[in-house]
A and B are shown apart, each in its own frame.
Chain A
């Protein structure tokens, strides 16, 4: 029996002011899956995540989280309905809050989140810096914190935007392990990723996005066969 659909997006359009960014996005994520949104800069991948959370100017179409329509819902309720954890592209570490406060900021959405102790076991270097202001952390530490804080909330569906951007290879490796572990633990993950080599071994399915819609959907098993198409779309 297939797993429950956690996220289903149909005919999603989104605007920032006058500019029309998403033109009929369609995608489905089932429980326990890891999917990626691939595409060039400006193709609408980040906007897709923001549109799910209601952080765009206007959106139409349908976004269902756990079967509940959220297209007209105010932003602060969406995380609760979808048990969503969001890690934005710019990481969104609060400079005026210290590490502990950043960690404890997102409200608990459901039971089953990690405790602060468990999180510090997973990210030991954050523990050493728990009293530091968010602004004093290195890029890698900020990225770890941005992921760590949504694990506390009991979120089951993680929206991770460009988490590898600007990180050193050694940190990439440990980040890859973190995502791998989360997947093993049953988290459902939507990755917006520029670094295809990072994302390829982690994901069940890849959506290629161009001009605000899905132009190709590639299952992990078809990856080799469709590599050429993929390269053309990403023009790497």
Chain B
């Protein structure tokens, strides 16, 4: 097989990988800080995509207002709305469960997922609605030398990488980030110093959800927008987080990217295994390094 085929599959794999990375990053941030396994993360991603779709195609149809919210405003608006919903969920529901076992948070967020999915499945086609709002400036293809690659996909890769590494930098190398890490390690003492840890937790949950919403908007022009788009992806993303190591920020980003690549390349080598190779790796990691590739053994 030619090098071009391998490279182009690798790039397509990377394209999937950045979505894994963005979603698993949000999950890792939330798990690392709150010890909550946010099953609703996929629903937040789906919601981000739907906010973009509704803003573009449905405002006039539903409300009779002649208005169209384009891709760029959605890229800002959707994460803010999804983040706000996250904050609402944390403040009104999750906060009551912190003293209980992890499983309660998981059950609650799983329930929220089913409700949101059901709600959207009631109004939208389960098999997907295309998002027509891809900006003109990102249409067409770019000649990369070895292949022609869709401009929008290239944009999605670069944009996601910037967001992922900015998040990592913020958490690992800024003062506010060090406060977050301190709040994770020893919340009592961090509060005794006069830092408002509950507020930090709420905002972090909102931020993690916003990140999922952002990924949803980015995905809308590539994949069709469907009530189940998050459910399909979230299982893979959980596997990515397990492989990277629960709670490890860099681990989530790198393993997201790497597993997207692995999946893409498997499509070249042995296509039938492409959708299961990640789970095979997850089993291996769990057997031989249960804390994950980047996680610390406890």
Instruction: List the A residue with the shortest CB-CB distance to B196.
Output: A76
Q: Assess the B194–A79 pair: CB atoms within 8 A.
A: yes
- In angstroms, Cα B187 to Cα A94, docked, is 11
Query: Are A105 and B185 in contact, with the CB atoms below 8 A?
Result: no
The prevalent SS among residues of A at the interface is loop
Interface residues of A in 65-94 (CB under 8 A from B): 74-80, 84, 86, 88, 92, 94
**B residues near A80, Cβ cutoff 8 Å:** 194
Q: Given the interface contacts A92-B186, A94-B185, A94-B186, does A77 sit within 8 Å of B194 by beta carbon?
A: yes
Q: How far is the CA of A204 from the CA of B179 in the complex (A)?
A: 36
- Most chain B beta-carbon neighbours within 10 Å: one of A86, A88, A96: A96
Q: Hey, which chain B residues are within 8 Å of A126, CB to CB?
A: none
Total interface residues on A, CB under 8 Å, equals 25
- The verdict on A131 contacting chain B, using a C-beta distance below 8 Å, is no
Inter-chain contact A76/B178, CB cutoff 8 Å: no
* Contacting residues, chain A, for B178 (C-beta < 8 A): 97, 101, 104-105
Q: Give the Cβ gap from B297 to chain A, nearest Cβ, in Å.
A: 14
Distance (Å) between the CB of A133 and the closest chain B CB?
Answer: 11
Cross-chain contact B191 with A75 (CB below 8 angstroms)? yes
A223 part of interface (Cβ distance < 8 Å): no
Question: Chain A residues with Cβ under 8 A from B185's Cβ?
Answer: 94-97
> Is B192 in contact with chain A by the CB < 8 A criterion?
yes
Interface residue from A79, A96, A97, A101 paired with B193 (Cβ < 8 Å)? A79
B182 & A79 in contact (Cβ 8 Å cutoff): no
Within 8 A of A (CB), among B155-213: 175, 178-179, 181-182, 184-186, 188-198
| Inter-chain contact A86/B192, CB cutoff 8 Å | yes
Interchain CB contact under 8 A, A106 and B186: no
Contact call A105/B192, Cβ cutoff below 8 A = no
Closest chain-B Cβ to A162's Cβ sits at a distance in Å of 15
Residue of A76, A88, A109 near B191 (CB, 8 A) is: A76
> What chain A residues lie within 8 Å of B175 (beta carbons)?
101, 104
The 7 closest A-B pairs by CB, nearest first: A79-B194, A106-B193, A75-B191, A101-B178, A92-B189, A76-B196, A76-B191
A-B contact pairs, 18 of them (CB 8 A): A55-B188, A74-B191, A76-B194, A76-B196, A77-B194, A79-B192, A92-B189, A94-B182, A94-B186, A95-B185, A96-B184, A97-B181, A97-B185, A101-B178, A104-B178, A105-B178, A107-B193, A107-B194
